[in-house]
Amino acid sequence: MTEARAVAVVVLAAGEGTRMKSALPKVLHPLLGRSMLGHVLAACEPLAARLLVVVGHGREQVTATLPEHVQPVVQAEQRGTGHAVRLALEAAADLDGTVLVVPGDAPLLTSRTLGELVDTHVAAGAVATVLTSVAPDPDGYGRVIRAADGSVARVVEHRDATAAERAVHEINTSVYAFQAGLLREALAKLGADNAQGEEYLPDVIGGFVAAGHPVAAVTAEAGETAGVNDRAQLAAAGRALRDRVLTAWMRAGVTVVDPATVWVDVGVRLDPDVTLLPNVQLHGTTQVGTGAVVGPDCTLTDTVVGSGARVVRAHCDRAEIGPEASVGPYCYLRPGARLGRRAKAGTYVEIKAADVGDGAKVPHLSYIGDAAIGEQTNIGAATVFVNYDGVAKHRTVIGSHARTGADNMFVAPVSVGDGAYTAAGSVITADVPAGALGVGRARQSNIEGWVERHRSGTPAAEAAARARTAAGGGPADPTDGDMGAGA
């Protein structure tokens, strides 16, 4: 930031935003992991020596989101943008030099455009500089009216414009650079003789021109300056921001196979040679390492994915996936799930608050909670770590190079030693020493002829009779081995 760009910034965020039809203040509606106001502040930060945000509707909620270095200014009664800026200057009576005024509902603004506005303002020696754009449909926007020589003559709100003025397509974006001292004087003279009975900030432009003060203008792309007033415009801004973010990542070496179906929050970090397949959402502070492939059909929130890992059809929340690890399909990694290098969490696997060691595998149909699994261990299909006794959570520890059988239940707290095995179908309630075989199942008994005696006439009984006859057996004994219908 150059000294010429070290400015005071006033962000207007007091409006109710009734067209959003929401209990949430308009400027707090989220886009790609950041509120609209957050995007505006991020664009202003590189230029700002001082940041003030005018709050009004929902001010407690809005103020709670502001960084510590940002000064809130309360506009208790919304009496227009001119009134809001006047309150900000009164709250910062020592402000001098350039003041940048920005709306809090324009999340697509960039630092580059705001910097160009400030640079033009300073170079022109202007008292005010207006950021304008040319809108295909200017309905509802204030119009920038030019003099015969092309200079800015005034800004007129849509409701107060004549038919000829409404035919103008150059609009006011509500972004300005001002000279602080003369702005204070102009705001003190503002009236409210207009369609809305408010103090309009744009009215100071006409006053400056009438007084012979230089007023400049910078024209920006309409897509960048668009404000958000309803949910449809919010969605449109989200798509535009999504495209901007993905374009930047693709130019940084990330492959995005189908940008129309991929959403990446602004706080996400991606290394070169990452591949994002269709229908991927990366939220929060997610990080993806070099060569990793994510997708299709994945949602990752605040998750770390190591280099060369593969994540497919998975939902991961605050998880850590090690280098070259494999996740999915249809896998759920909950907070605290940590997979080591080349570990595997496979199909229909859920893991929570558990460490899965390097090269360990949980391939199928299992729940792993509050646990540690050593390196190179294999967890059999349909395994459940029974971690909750109805009051408290307990921990299971499985050693390295262990092999657990299919359909096991580990009733925590319990441990299985290094190199140990557990038999299929076991309920493990006691520790299994290293190298031992743990068996926790009842001995099987067969009650011959039970189906023919107690399910007579069913297809099963008829099939059993045919099989017995084919094997040369006699009629089923009506009493032999009978333990009752409930056996």
Q: How confident is the model at residue 478 (pLDDT cuts 50, 70, 90)?
A: low
pLDDT at 174: 93
Q: Which of 157, 162, 163, 159 is nearest to 143 (CA)?
A: 157
Q: Which of 84, 66, 65, 92 is nearest to 14 (CA)?
A: 84
82: left (phi over 0), alpha (psi -120 to 50) or beta: alpha
pLDDT at 195: 63
More confident residue, 139 or 122: 122
Structure tokens at 91: 């709250």
Q: Of the residues 169, 213, 364, 454, which is catalytic? A: 364
pLDDT(443) > 70? yes
Q: How confident is the model at residue 2 (pLDDT cuts 50, 70, 90)?
A: very low
pLDDT(483) > 80? no
Burial of residue 82, with CB atoms counted within 10 A of its CB: 0-12 exposed, 13-18 middle, 19 or more buried: buried
pLDDT(412) > 80? yes
pLDDT at 149: 87
Reduced to 3 states (helix: H, G, I; strand: E, B; else coil), residue 362 is strand
Q: What's the pLDDT tens digit per position in 299-348?
A: 999 999 999 999 999 999 999 999 999 999 999 999 999 999 999 999 99
Q: How confident is the model at residue 25 (pLDDT cuts 50, 70, 90)?
A: very high
Instruction: Lowest mean pLDDT of 189-203, 230-244, 323-337, 348-362, name the range.
Output: 189-203
Q: What's the pLDDT tens digit per position in 99-114?
A: 999 999 999 999 999 9
Q: What is the mean pLDDT of residues 345-354?
A: 98
CATH of region 255-438: 2.160.10.10
Give the percent of the chain with pLDDT over 70: 95
Cα distance between residue 100 and residue 93, in whole Å:
15
Cα distance between residue 38 and residue 31, in whole Å:
9
Known catalytic residue: 364?
yes
Q: What is the mean pLDDT of residues 42-64?
A: 96
pLDDT(487) > 60? no
pLDDT(296) > 90? yes
pLDDT at 476: 65
- The pTM (predicted TM-score) of the whole model is 0.91
- The H-or-E segment that residue 276 falls in is strand 275-276
25 Cβ contact partners less than 8 Å away, ≥ 6 residues apart: 13, 16, 17, 57, 58, 61, 62
CA distances from 176 to 8, 160, 179, 349, 435 (A): 12, 20, 10, 55, 75
pLDDT(4) > 70? no
Cα distance between residue 436 and residue 265, in whole Å:
49
DSSP 388: B
Q: How many CA atoms lie within 13 A of 380 on its CB side?
A: 17
Q: What's the pLDDT tens digit per position in 263-281?
A: 999 999 999 999 999 999 9
Q: What is the mean pLDDT of residues 159-174?
A: 91
- What is the dihedral angle through the alpha carbons of 62, 64, 70, 74, rounded to the nearest 10 degrees? 50
Q: Where in the chain is the domain with CATH 3.90.550.10?
A: 3-225
pLDDT at 21: 95
CATH topology of domain 3-225: Spore Coat Polysaccharide Biosynthesis Protein SpsA; Chain A (3.90.550)
Q: Where in the chain is the domain with CATH 2.160.10.10?
A: 255-438
pLDDT(479) > 80? no
pLDDT(481) > 80? no
Contacts 24+ apart (CB under 8 A), 379-384: 379/404, 380/404, 380/405, 380/406, 380/407, 380/408, 380/422, 380/424, 381/406, 381/407, 382/406, 382/407, 382/408, 383/407, 383/408, 383/409, 383/410, 384/408, 384/409, 384/410
Q: What is the mean pLDDT of residues 168-189?
A: 94
Q: Which of 114, 130, 123 is nearest to 8 (CA)?
A: 114
Q: What's the pLDDT tens digit per position in 72-91?
A: 999 998 889 999 999 999 99
Cα distance between residue 318 and residue 304, in whole Å:
8
pLDDT(42) > 90? yes
Residue listed under structure tokens 């449809």: 232
Most confident of 154-168, 220-234, 332-346: 332-346
Q: How confident is the model at residue 459 (pLDDT cuts 50, 70, 90)?
A: very high
236 Cβ contact partners less than 8 Å away, ≥ 6 residues apart: 226
Structure tokens at 419: 């190199």
Q: Which of 375, 384, 348, 351 is nearest to 363 (CA)?
A: 348
pLDDT at 222: 86
Contacts 24+ apart (CB under 8 A), 204-213: 204/82, 204/128, 204/178, 205/128, 205/130, 205/152, 205/154, 205/155, 206/153, 206/154, 206/155, 208/127, 208/128, 208/182, 209/147, 209/151, 209/152, 209/153, 209/154, 213/126, 213/127, 213/128, 213/182
Average pLDDT value over all residues in the chain: 93
Instruction: Lowest mean pLDDT of 152-161, 358-367, 477-486, name the range.
Output: 477-486
340 Cβ contact partners less than 8 Å away, ≥ 6 residues apart: 322, 325, 355, 356, 357, 358, 359, 360, 375
Q: Which of 349, 326, 408, 341 is nearest to 375 (CA)?
A: 341
Please confirm whether the linkage preceding 413 is cis (ω < 30° from 0): yes
CA distances from 197 to 80, 163, 190, 263, 435 (A): 8, 21, 11, 42, 84
